[in-house]
Amino acid sequence: MHKYVIRRLLLAIPVLLLSSLIVFGLMRVMPGDALIALMGESGNVGQKELAKLRKDLGLDRPYHEQYLLWLWQMVSFSPGDSIFTNEPISVSLKKAIPVTLELAALAIVLGITIAVPIGVLSATRQDTAADYAGRVVAVSGLSIPDFWLATLVITFSAIWVHWIPPIGYVSFWDSPWRNLQQFLLPAAVLGYRLAAATMRMTRSTVLETLREDYVRTAWAKGLAGRIVVYKHALKNALIPVVTIIGGQLGTLLAGTFVIEQIFALPGMGRLTVEAILYRDYPVVQTNVMLVAAILVTLNLIVDLTYAWLDPRIRYQ
């Protein structure tokens, strides 16, 4: 297992370095430079001020120096300041990351809680009304855009129940009830998409496992249906489900970008979208890189979990 962990870690480092090169390169593709794009449009900034700002931001240095400096800033957790607000990016991120993490974690919990039982039900009652209903719910989850579902949920809860989630973010430690009220709807919307993919995977893997010889043996021994399904079949069927959840983490993180915008949650997604709209490139490149790093790390954890669950993978 140690060798496998080391090999996977060594593979993750070049991927992250290349991602950083892509993100950095992307931000430099902009015609002129970021500052001209930002200030030039207003027309109120003179050449001298532009030159000074460019020097302050290190934009006058050669590209390789800028890249190495940015890499060092990222590694030392001090990624510079926002052009637009002048606030250190690390300070904005410190406020935003817990919001996104809470939203994503709640969405995963809600998604799995809904998906696994419905997936099992669909598989054990294949081609019945329950199965068709479960499959429609799953396919809809993959087709309905997050932002539409979120808009509908807010609209109809306002029209029918006369309730909308409280505005103005409050942390869980300050007021747990108000915080949960703010996060429940966005997490449910975000969790629905995750649930849809997980539901489909759970159904197909449970169906496959139910046809295995050892499950037939369990039935032949006269074990109760619940024990056969949950103790024998589901346990083995869950291995590919872990992978699909891992594969969905990117979609989930991207989903927070839209959902935070709609529900006015001050997380990383909202911070990045606003930075994109204001062309605040230091914030954009730091946040996109951070998302890539989080995703690579999470995928690494999923791979290691998978290898731990299924020893054959370690020796491939």
Partner 1 sequence: MATVPLRVPLEEPAGTTINRAHALWLTMKRKPLGAVSAALLVVLVLTAIFADVLAPYDPLATQPEIRLSAPTRAHPFGTDDIGRDVLSRIIYGSRISLWVGLLAVGIGTAAGMVIGLLCGYCEGRLDLVVQRVMDAIQAIPGLVLALAIVSVLKPSTTNAMLAIAMVIIPGNSRIVRGAVLSAKQNRYVEAAQALGCRQPRIITTHILPNVTAPILVIASIWLGNAILIEATLSFLGVGTQPPTPSWGLMLSSTGRAFMEQAPWLAIFPGLAISLAVLGFNLFGDTLRDAWDPKLRRQG
3-state secondary structure of 88: strand
Q: How far is the CB of 134 from partner 1 (least distance, A)?
A: 14
Please choose, out of 43-51, 64-72, 150-158, 214-222, the segment that lies near partner 1 by the rule CB under 8 A: 150-158
Instruction: Give the residue with the Cβ less far from partner 1, 75 or 277.
Output: 277
- Please, which of residues 216-235 interact with partner 1 by CB under 8 A? none
Paired strand residues for 81? 88
Q: How far is the CB of 255 from partner 1 (least distance, A)?
A: 8
Question: Within its chain, how far is the Cα of 59 from the centroid?
Answer: 31
47 CB burial (10 A radius; 0-12, 13-18, 19+): exposed
Tokens representing 166 are 């409280």
Instruction: Round to whole Å and give the CA distance between 157 and 188.
Output: 14
Q: How far is CA 189 from CA 120, 125, 142, 293, in A?
A: 22, 27, 12, 25
Tokens representing 132 are 């068709």
| Binding-residue pattern over the window 97 to 136 for partner 1, x denoting contact by CB under 8 A | ----------------------------------------
List 15, 39, 50, 239, residue binding partner 1 (CB under 8 A) = 15
Instruction: Round to whole Å and give the CA distance between 316 and 287.
Output: 35
Instruction: Give the residue with the Cβ less far from partner 1, 200 or 232.
Output: 200
- Please, which of residues 244-283 interact with partner 1 by CB under 8 A? 250-251, 253-254, 257-258, 261-262, 272-273, 275-277, 279, 281
Question: Within its chain, how far is the Cα of 272 from the centroid?
Answer: 14
List 2, 3, 14, 47, residue binding partner 1 (CB under 8 A) = 14
Q: How far is the CB of 289 from partner 1 (least distance, A)?
A: 9
Q: Does 301 bind partner 1 (CB under 8 A)?
A: no
How many other CB atoms sit within 10 Å of the CB of residue 54? 17
DSSP string, 231-277: IIIHHHHHHHHHHHHHHHHHHHHHHHHHHHHHTT--SHHHHHHHHHH
Q: How far is the CB of 283 from partner 1 (least distance, A)?
A: 10
Residues in contact with partner 1 by CB under 8 A are 14-19, 21-23, 26-27, 29-30, 139-140, 142-148, 151-152, 154-156, 158-159, 204, 240, 250-251, 253-254, 257-258, 261-262, 272-273, 275-277, 279, 281, 284-285, 288, 291-292, 295-296
